[in-house]
Structures are given as structure tokens and as C-alpha cells.
Amino acid sequence: MKRNGLFISIIIFAESLLYAQKFTISGYVRDASNGESLIGANVWLDELKKGATSNTYGFYSITIEKGTYTLVAKYLGYTAFKKKIVVDKNIQLNIELTPTSIVAKEVVITDNKAIKNIESTEMGKIDIPVQTIKQIPVVFGEADIMKTLQLMPGIQTAGEGNTDLYVRGGGPDQNLILLDEAIVYNPSHLFGFFSTFNADAIQNIEMFKSGMPAYYGGRLASVLDVTMKEGNMKQWQADGGIGLIASRISIQGPLKKDTASFIVSARRTYADLLIKPFTKSNSIARATSYYFYDINIKTNYRISQKDRLFLSTYFGQDLFDFNFASDQMKTKINWGNWTTTFRWNHLYNPKLFSNFSFIFSQYHFTFDAKQELIKLKLYSGIQDITSKLDYTYLASFGHNLKFGLFYSHHCYTPNNASGYTGETELDLGKTVRLYSHEMSLYVNDEFSISNRLKLNLGIRGTDFMHTGPFDRYVHEDFNLPITDTIHYSSRDIVKNYFHLEPRVSLRFSIDTLSSIKASYTQNYQYVHLVSTSTTTLPTDVWVPSTDKIKPQLGIQYSLGYYRNFFDNTVETSIEGYYKTMKNQLEYAEGVLLENTLYDNIDNYLVFGKGTSYGVEFLIQKRMGSTTGWIGYTWSKTTKHFPLINNGEPFPAKYDRRHDISFVINHAINESLTISIVWVYATGNTTTMPVSRYIIDGNVVSEYGPRNGFRLPPYHRADVSVNWIPKPKKKRRFEQSWNFSIYNLYNRKNPYFIFIDVDGDILTGNAIIKAKQVSLFPILPSITWNFKF
């Protein structure tokens, strides 16, 4: 820290000598009604047509020559701020923006122009305001960040109800999902039907499909950076909703007005109500109980204009109980995430902003089963302790320079099992824990080469170390006996990897309404999800890179053309990408999962590569009484593993040729808005049987090529109406009703296909049928929301 401080001081001093005539305007951009920091607000000087955007903490800084300027600050959904300022010394100016209502008026159309998509170098970046997310209906009338992101081109789902993101052909483990900088390993509740993000507690969402700046690292496909609300600095506020499936409540307020605040949000589903709509009067339904809950707590304290502290925590769990009466089998499954982040913002001077974070992140999955005398317990988990130091240096020579360091200690327990049959303890292997250290240094700069060309260049260097204590079981093949065991102590380094990740993106402005962007992104990933199934389940296991599992490498090239129409109210874009992924892994064919308990799990894996390419089209309107977008993606994702499918390339399970999303939000009048969503996607791939034969009087299937078959296409429409009754007098208590219908035309989308053989083949009475299972038929839902 000391050395860094000295180094920085030298630069600042040198700079102040060279640019003696320049001064800095800096400060924080906040919401006037509650004091929340506004992230990504545009602050610029009208006369120069140049400016800056506020960072994650709302901080902005502009260094310019002495003079008189009109400062303008804008943010979507807020009234613009204009002020004439005389710049003859450094100015500290905190800006408060007033929110306008969502139902837009004329004023809003002309003021808030969509120039960001044309101006910024950040290509492959998706910005969806939280208000938009709250308007779009999803399953059971609950607003959901992940489900809304899946409506964007390039981001797909695995199918019905699943909240996992498959971004440009990447797997669900290839997304860096951050909640206040803490990694969320499993962002799904209920096997993926709901995400762990409670929209009421979220302030901002930023997502990168490509061109991730160098301050993000560790995943190949995308970055989803979610920032929690800070808490109303001005007055107490409560929000909540009661729905058919879940209820939520959020309480926030100042601990000391304009100095410290807090927010607490909680959400819970009701087990029985969730299951009962689908119940056939059958003992299985009665035997099941499921519920999830999550809690978000955050507090912050503004020590001064220069220092601010934050403490945020998230805790969520899914609890699933199943008692299968006739088998007398009791199962208890429980999984969840817990994250805590401590942050300290420190402003060295108007140009140098820093943040120090200390983060704790944990994910666990436990499975407890009991049947007669047999008891089995499975546990898998991850614990990360991370510290980060990030600097933003808003230099006078037009550079937005970011640099910093990152250190994380990981402890993975991929699969730990214990069991008993009667009194006899079963030998299910020792508890295996995998330890690793990950350290990164990065530098990223955004600057203009000319009036038209802007460049974003970054490089990230990471050192990843797999350390002991660790036992390596050596054998030629997992089917052959173990020939040797190598013991590593806690002081030994089992394997070390060092990699550099260059990141380049550029924007070339053709004119004020259009631009071309290109990017080259190189990413390494040191954590891997080993999936036993064709869809993601909490039983999937996370493992770090080891001496056997090499880090994954992703290289992505993308090129896009962006054009705005109708005075910047309609944005359009065409983006193409090509991506290669190396060191992808899968379980080897024919692995007996139980054997992995006595061995290193990575002895059961095979490695290969993946390729994905595609084109994405988007037309989006963000302003006016009618807003929304139409997105279309054409893509192809293939995998190639020498030891799977006889070494022949095969489609990835989430390879989706066509993906169409259509979203419209229309404000009918001041009280009523309607939202319509229609999606269409090519069917999922699956492996189908090609022939059958008989062994011991039973039918056996012989399967065709891996993922060689496609299910019928998926499409559905949802509609949602939001009614805000407006009382004659403006009261503190506000309420709204949301009526939504999921799957409006009751399309039976296939969740999977299975073969049903009924009868006796041997008497010539067998009936063999292919059946498809669908999950959600037409589902109406009502939610009552309140705020005071």
C-alpha cells in the first residue's frame, strides 16, 4: 500500500507540473429522492461535447481547461440537471437527479437521448434498468433479473423455467456473477426456476457478453455485475409484495440522514402452494415440501466526502424435503449461497478514486437420505476469501485509467460422502478439499485516439496455484487400479499456472448516429462445473484447476454495427462473434459416480474444445409511452472431445440455432401499463435411441450420436398488466396490482422426451410410445405490491 501511494504521488505531481492550467470537477451523482448513488450517469460539458460517466459508487471526475461551461447530467428515468459553472479551480460538485415517473412525457423524450450505445467503447454490454426488469412478467408473476436478461440476444436459457445463462455458446459456469463484488456460485433457486436476485434490493445491473474490461477476470463467457441498493439516505421506506407463490419485503432508511443508511430485503416462497397446482391426488405430491428464502442486508456510512464504508451480505437457501411413503425413503436436500462484502471507498484527490474490498463467499449443497437402515449424506461446497484493491485514475490527458490487484483463496469440497447401513459405516472415501490461491494484477485504459476513434485497452495477469494438502492417486485410466499415491503437504505447490489476458475493444464513430465496434477478448477460467446431467442441477460439482485440469481458455472476436434512428430514440445493432474455448471438460463416458469418492474427481474427466459463432440483431426503444425490443440470434455451438461420441464433433446441449425475443411495454394511461413478451427458440438437443434389443426379456435401447436429435421448438407468450390506483390525494402509502398470465396460449413446450414401454414385448402386446413432458401450462397470477 505504501509503495503504491508513493508511485501514485509521483504521477500526480508530474502531471500537475505539465498541465498547470487544468482543473478538475468531481463529485458524486445521486438520486435526489433517496440518496442512492447513480451508476453510469452521463456528466458532460455541453460546449465540449465531452464528459464522463459515474462509476459504481456514483463518482465522476472531469479535468478540463480553465473556462465557463454548462454542465449537464443525465440518467435514464431522471430529469436532466443543468448548471453553468466557472472553472478556475478544482470544483467539488455533488449532483442530485430527480426521478421522473416511468410513464414518460414529452420532456423526457427530447432530453434523455440514447447515445450511450453509439458513444461507448463497451461493446457486448447490456444495460437494463431495474425498473424495466420489474415490468416484465416472468413465471408466477415474479420479476427476475436473470429471466429478463435471457430475453436479450446472445443470452439464452436451457429451457423452461431455467434461470441459468448460456451466453454466446458458453456454459452456465462460464459467467462471472457478482453481487456487490462477491461471486455467486449458484444463482438459482428451485432447480433454476427463480434466481437468487431479489429485484427490490438491486440498484444496478451490468452485463458483458464480450469485450470485458481487464478489471474482470475468471470466467470465459460473460460478466454479470449486480450492485445492491445502498439504502434510502433521506427517509424510511418499505416496499413489498404478496404473490401467489412468494412474498417479499424490503425496509430501508437512514441511520443518520445523508450520512448513513441501511436496507434489509427478504423473500420467501410457500412450499405447498407451489406444488399443489400440479398435484395429481398422489402420495408423492403430499410427501414433498419445498421452499426457498433469501435475505439481503446492506449498510453504509459516509465518513466524509473522501471516505465511505459499506457492508453488505446475502444469505439464501433452498430446502427440499421428500418422503416417499411406499419406499420409506426420506430425503432432505438443501443448498444455498452466503456472501459478505466489506468495502472502503477512498478518494485520494479529485482524480484518483480507490476501493478496497474484503469479500467472503460460500456455496454449499447437502443431500441427506434415509431408507430403512441405510443412511447417506453427500456434501459439496466452496469457500472463497478475497481481497481487492481497485484504483480509477481520471487523468487529464483524456484517459480513464483503472488498475488494481486481486487475491483470492479458494477451498473446494467437490464431493464428500458418508453413510451407514445399520451400524456399519460405509467406506465412502476421505473428505477431499482442494485449496488454491489466485492472484491478479490488471491495467485498463479507455482513451480517444481521435474524434472518431476510441480505444479500450487492458491486460490482466493471473497466477493460479493449486496447493496442498492434497493426495494425487495415479492410474493410467479410471478403469485400471491405482498404482501410486503422491502426498502433498500444505506447504507444497501441486501446480502453478500463470497467464496473461489481453483485452482490446475499439469504437469508430461514422457519424453522430452510428458507429462500428470491434473487440478481442482473452479469458482464462480457473474453476469448472462438472455436470452429471443434461440440465444443471444442484448436484453439479465445482472443481478448481489442478495438475490434471488445465485452466479453460476463451478467445472471442466480435464486430458490430450500431445505428440509432428517430433522433436517438430507437437503437439498432448487428453484432457478430466467433469464439473458441479450450480445456473444456466432461465426465468420461460410463463413469460410475460412486467411484469418484475414492479417487481424485479429475481422474474421471475428459477434455476437449468448443467453438461458437453467431450473429445478433437488436432493435430497442427505451423512451416514450411504448418501449421494448425485438432481438434475434442465429448461433451454432459445437463441442469436440476425442473420448466422447467416438471423437466426432457434436452439438453442445444448449446449441440453439434460432432465438427470438419480442418485448413490449405500453403505458395505457397514468395508472395502467401492459407488458407483452413472446419468445421463440429452436428446440434443445438430446441423445435419442436408434434401435432396441432384448436382454433377459427386457428392452434395451441403443443410442444414436450425442445430442444428435432436436426437440420441437420452444415458444410462448406472456402478458402482464400493472395497475397503480391513483388516489385523489397523494399519499405516502402507494400500492399496485400486477396481473399476469404466463404461457398465454398454453403451448406445451417439451421439457424432455422419454420413451414409455408398456406391456409385455414377449407376448406381442407391447406398446412403445415417445412422450414429451411439459412443465408450465397457462399460469395466471396476481401480486399485490406496496410502498410507504
Partner 1 sequence: MKKMLLLTTMIFILFSCSKEINLKLPTPESKYVVEASIENGKYPIVVLTRNMPYFAPVDTAFLMDSLFVTDAQVIVSDGVINDTLQLFYDLSRIQRKWWPFVYYKGSKIVGQLGRHYYLTVKIKSTIITAETTIPSNVYYFDTIWWKPDAKAKNDSLGYIWIKATDNPNEKNYYRIYTQRLSRDYDFVPIFGSVYEDIYISGKNFDFYLTRGLKNIEEDSAYSDKEFGYYRLGDTVVIKLSNIDKATFEFWRTLEGETYSAGNPFTNPTPIKHNVHGALGVFGGYASSYDTLIIKH
- Residue closer to partner 1 (CB basis): 254 or 750: 750
Residues 6+ positions from 113 with CB-CB distance below 8 Å: 567, 568, 569
Q: Considering the rule CB under 8 A, would residue 706 count as an interface residue with partner 1?
A: yes
Spatial CA neighbour of 210 closest among 450, 439, 424, 504: 504
What is the smallest separation between the CB atom of 589 and partner 1, expressed in angstroms?
Answer: 5
| Helix or strand holding residue 17 (H, E) | helix 2-18
- Residue closer to partner 1 (CB basis): 271 or 465: 271
- Residue closer to partner 1 (CB basis): 422 or 727: 422
Positive/negative CA dihedral, 213, 510, 661, 558: negative
Task: With beta carbons less than 8 A apart as the criterion, state whether 269 and 248 touch.
Answer: no
CA end-to-end span of the chain: 45
What is the smallest separation between the CB atom of 278 and partner 1, expressed in angstroms?
Answer: 4
What is the smallest separation between the CB atom of 362 and partner 1, expressed in angstroms?
Answer: 23
78 secondary structure, DSSP code: B
Residue 120 Cα distances to 114, 448, 558, angstroms: 11, 11, 15
Positive/negative CA dihedral, 187, 189, 191, 195: negative
Distance CA 692, CA 698 (A): 10
User: Which residues inside 504-533 make contact with partner 1, applying CB under 8 A?
Assistant: 532-533
Q: Which of 18, 303, 500, 694: binder of partner 1 (CB under 8 A)?
A: 694
Grid cell digits, residue 566: 428517430
Beta bridge partners of 487: 471
E-strand ranges in 475-569 read 484-488, 493-511, 514-525, 527-530, 541-544, 552-565
User: Which residues inside 372-391 make contact with partner 1, applying CB under 8 A?
Assistant: 372-373, 378
Spatial CA neighbour of 710 closest among 654, 667, 755, 748: 654
Q: Which of 107, 755, 778, 782: binder of partner 1 (CB under 8 A)?
A: 755
Beta bridge partners of 697: none
Q: Left (φ > 0), alpha (ψ -120 to 50) or beta: where does 721 sit?
A: beta
- Residue closer to partner 1 (CB basis): 115 or 688: 688
User: Which residues inside 33-62 make contact with partner 1, applying CB under 8 A?
Assistant: none
What is the smallest separation between the CB atom of 172 and partner 1, expressed in angstroms?
Answer: 15
Grid cell digits, residue 624: 416514450
Task: With beta carbons less than 8 A apart as the criterion, state whether 152 and 126 touch.
Answer: yes
Phi and psi dihedrals of 327, rounded to 5? -100, -5
What is the smallest separation between the CB atom of 287 and partner 1, expressed in angstroms?
Answer: 10
User: Which residues inside 177-206 make contact with partner 1, applying CB under 8 A?
Assistant: 191
What is the smallest separation between the CB atom of 676 and partner 1, expressed in angstroms?
Answer: 24
- Residue closer to partner 1 (CB basis): 436 or 596: 596
What is the smallest separation between the CB atom of 760 and partner 1, expressed in angstroms?
Answer: 6
Task: With beta carbons less than 8 A apart as the criterion, state whether 144 and 677 touch.
Answer: no
Q: Which of 54, 288, 552, 635: binder of partner 1 (CB under 8 A)?
A: 288
Q: Considering the rule CB under 8 A, would residue 727 count as an interface residue with partner 1?
A: no
Of 100-108, 385-393, 554-562, 591-599, which segment contacts partner 1 by CB under 8 A? 591-599
Q: Which of 449, 760, 782, 788: binder of partner 1 (CB under 8 A)?
A: 760
Spatial CA neighbour of 610 closest among 653, 659, 657: 653
Q: Considering the rule CB under 8 A, would residue 606 count as an interface residue with partner 1?
A: no
User: Which residues inside 439-498 make contact with partner 1, applying CB under 8 A?
Assistant: none
User: Which residues inside 264-283 make contact with partner 1, applying CB under 8 A?
Assistant: 275, 278-280, 282
Number of residues that bind partner 1 (CB under 8 A): 91
What is the smallest separation between the CB atom of 55 and partner 1, expressed in angstroms?
Answer: 43
User: Which residues inside 654-693 make contact with partner 1, applying CB under 8 A?
Assistant: 686-693
Q: Considering the rule CB under 8 A, would residue 643 count as an interface residue with partner 1?
A: no
- Grid cell 412450499 in the structure block, residue: 271
Phi and psi dihedrals of 274, rounded to 5? -70, -45
- Residue closer to partner 1 (CB basis): 471 or 670: 471
What is the smallest separation between the CB atom of 773 and partner 1, expressed in angstroms?
Answer: 5
The identity of residue 270, as a single letter, is Y
Q: Considering the rule CB under 8 A, would residue 592 count as an interface residue with partner 1?
A: yes
Q: Which of 5, 642, 704, 725: binder of partner 1 (CB under 8 A)?
A: 704
Q: Considering the rule CB under 8 A, would residue 369 count as an interface residue with partner 1?
A: yes
Q: What is the 3-state secondary structure (H, E, C) of 603-621?
A: HHEEEEEEEEEEEEEEEEE
Phi and psi dihedrals of 698, rounded to 5? -115, 145
- Residue closer to partner 1 (CB basis): 106 or 423: 423
- Residue closer to partner 1 (CB basis): 259 or 539: 539
Distance CA 247, CA 631 (A): 32
- Residue closer to partner 1 (CB basis): 4 or 774: 774
User: Which residues inside 535-574 make contact with partner 1, applying CB under 8 A?
Assistant: 535, 537, 539
Q: Considering the rule CB under 8 A, would residue 695 count as an interface residue with partner 1?
A: yes
Distance CA 399, CA 733 (A): 47
Q: Considering the rule CB under 8 A, would residue 772 count as an interface residue with partner 1?
A: yes
The identity of residue 102, as a single letter, is I
Of 44-52, 352-360, 571-579, 584-592, which segment contacts partner 1 by CB under 8 A? 584-592
Dihedral in degrees, nearest 10, Cα atoms 201, 202, 203, 206: 170
Q: Considering the rule CB under 8 A, would residue 769 count as an interface residue with partner 1?
A: yes
Taking residues 311 to 330 in sequence order and writing x for each that binds partner 1 by CB under 8 A, - otherwise, the string is -----------x-xxxxx--
Distance CA 669, CA 666 (A): 9
Taking residues 416 to 445 in sequence order and writing x for each that binds partner 1 by CB under 8 A, - otherwise, the string is -----xx-x-xxx-----------------
What is the smallest separation between the CB atom of 693 and partner 1, expressed in angstroms?
Answer: 4
SS3 for 421? strand
User: Which residues inside 69-98 make contact with partner 1, applying CB under 8 A?
Assistant: none
Beta bridge partners of 303: none
What is the smallest separation between the CB atom of 655 and partner 1, expressed in angstroms?
Answer: 15
Q: Which of 666, 752, 780, 786: binder of partner 1 (CB under 8 A)?
A: 752
